[in-house]
Amino acid sequence: RKEVEQDPGPFNVPEGATVAFNCTYSNSASQSFFWYRQDCRKEPKLLMSVYSSGNEDGRFTAQLNRASQYISLLIRDSKLSDSATYLCVAPGGGGKLIFGQGTELSVKP
């Protein structure tokens, strides 16, 4: 089993839709997680950190469910500019990051 698993998608949604991504992790000792956004052929960029209480930033909400060992990312009122790959990330110890496969989102007009 991979340490971090995501549905690769692609998710094709119309503008204005709400879309949710889930991610599961295997290391129950992990305390915090991250969602990164990666545009085509670019580097990953931090979107949100996810702690036990969850996190909300504008149209984006991240939640952590420790009992089921999954993390979610909700995007409301999706924009064309949200089209990207969203990477679920767990800490790997010593500062290294463990990335999921990534979920591709395509927002259509």
Partner 1 sequence: DTGVSQNPRHKITKRGQNVTFRCDPISEHNRLYWYRQTLGQGPEFLTYFQNEAQLEKSRLLSDRFSAERPKGSFSTLEIQRTEQGDSAMYLCASSLWGTGGQEYGYTFGSGTRLTVV
SS3 content of the chain, % helix, strand, coil (to 5): 5, 55, 45
Asked if 98 is part of the footprint of partner 1 (rule: CB under 8 A), the reply reads yes
Among 40, 68, 96, 109, binds partner 1 (CB under 8 A): 96
CA distance 81 to 4: 26
The partner residues of 4 in beta bridges, in order of sequence, read 25
Asked if 42 is part of the footprint of partner 1 (rule: CB under 8 A), the reply reads yes
Asked if 100 is part of the footprint of partner 1 (rule: CB under 8 A), the reply reads yes
Shortest distance (Å) from residue 87 CB to partner 1: 5
Asked if 35 is part of the footprint of partner 1 (rule: CB under 8 A), the reply reads no
Q: How far is CA 31 from the centre of its chain?
A: 16
Asked if 60 is part of the footprint of partner 1 (rule: CB under 8 A), the reply reads no
Mapped onto helix, strand or coil, the DSSP state of residue 41 is coil
Among 30, 44, 75, 82, binds partner 1 (CB under 8 A): 44
- Only segment of 14-22, 36-44, 56-64, 68-76 that touches partner 1 (CB under 8 A): 36-44
Q: Which two tokens stand for residue 3?
A: 């340490």
Q: Which residue has the tokens 């010593």?
A: 94
Mapped onto helix, strand or coil, the DSSP state of residue 72 is strand
Site residues (vs partner 1, CB under 8 A)? 4, 8, 41-46, 87, 89, 92, 94-102
